[in-house]
Chain A
Amino acid sequence: SYVLTQPPSVSVAPGQTARITCEGNNLGSKSVHWYQQKPGQAPVVVVYDNSDRPSGIPERFSGSNSGNTASLTISRVEAGDEADYYCQVWDSTTTVVFGGGTKLTVL
């Protein structure tokens, strides 16, 4: 089965840039989506298809995907960005796969 690996936690000071990675075999050939989940709430997609942003998501959120690693970059981090972030792909054998999630802490 296909596996996506994320770091358990990332910490960043307000105003700095946070980068959250997602690793998988030949991930660059797949379409990666990123979700933000705040405590007690349903996930919200912040980046889809590697680098597209849904309407209403700030330009501070961006994504990239190449080789075996996809990244979610959050520029000018704010306290309100503190949340869990999950990457997700569709794989032909396992269908929908989520990463283990990364807790973003704003110091």
Chain B
Amino acid sequence: QLQLQESGPGLVKPPETLSLTCIVSGGSISRSSYYWGWIRQPPGKALEWIGSIYYSGSTYYSPSLKSRVTISVDTSKNQFSLTLNSVTAADTAVYYCARQSPVDFSLAYWGQGALVTVSS
């Protein structure tokens, strides 16, 4: 059974950089033609897609976050990562990683989520 687990600091100071890693188990990132994505959810608000990376390394980012986001993949460690620069309090959210279908772009597998608070 595929499992995803987010890891990283729970507190980040503005205007530093937020960094999270998603560790994938039960399946290989490099042996499957899937997208791997990041989604966030501010407290009490809706889901917001941040971006996705194809297993080959191609990336797609939300237009509203594109200037501050980088998603990368490390196939040797079977994990992918998110960095978000110049964070503010508005970036406080639960951050989820997920596997995305290359056919219909649905998100069938999700991590449990990691709360990241931006505060000085």
Contact = CB atoms under 8 A, between A and B. Distances in A.
B96 interface: yes
A97 B49 CA distance: 7
Interface string B103-120: 011111011110000000
A45 B37 contact: no
B108 A54 contact: yes
A70 B108 CA distance: 19
B22 to A, nearest CB: 12
Contacts of A37: 47
Contacts of A99: 46
B60 interface: yes
Nearest to A34: B106
Range class of the B interface residue count: 20 to 34
B113 A42 contact: yes
B26 interface: no
A25 to B, nearest CB: 17
A89 B49 CA distance: 11
A39 B27 CA distance: 28
Given A90-B105, A95-B52, 14 more contacts: A33-B107, A35-B107, A37-B47, A41-B112, A43-B47, A45-B108, A90-B104, A95-B60, A95-B105, A96-B37, A96-B100, A96-B105, A97-B49, A100-B46
Interface of B: 37, 39, 46-49, 52, 60-63, 96, 100-101, 104-108, 110-113
